[in-house]
């Protein structure tokens, strides 16, 4: 069985900064919900990397 909090942590979600009730909600995610959140987080991180790469100034 998957552990949503462990998978979300590994995907970069700041789960340890959330309240106990918020972590309980995330711990109860269905497999489909967890897959969607991890996928969205991955895409956001990729987009952030592209923005940072374009923001680099060359002298």
Q: What pLDDT digit, counting tens, does each position of 26-50 carry?
A: 999 999 999 999 999 999 888 887 6
This prediction's pTM: 0.73
Q: In this predicted structure, what is the pLDDT of residue 26? A: 96
Evaluate whether 8 touches 38 at the Cβ level (below 8 Å). yes
Beta carbons of 39 and 29 less than 8 angstroms apart: no
**pLDDT of 2 over the 50 cut:** yes
In this prediction, residues 11-37 reach a mean pLDDT of 95
Output the six-digit token pair for 51. Answer: 């923005």
pLDDT for 48 equals: 82
pLDDT value at residue 52:
57
Say if CB 41 and CB 9 are below 8 A apart.
no
* Sign of the CA dihedral with 10 first, then 13, 15, and 1 last: negative
């Amino acid at each position: 069985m998957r552990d949503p909090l462990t998978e979300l942590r590994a995907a970069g979600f700041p789960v340890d900064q959330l309240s106990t009730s918020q972590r309980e909600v995330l711990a109860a995610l269905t497999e489909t919900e967890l897959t969607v959140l991890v996928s969205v987080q991955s895409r956001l991180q990729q987009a952030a990397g592209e923005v940072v790469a374009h923001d680099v100034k060359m002298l």
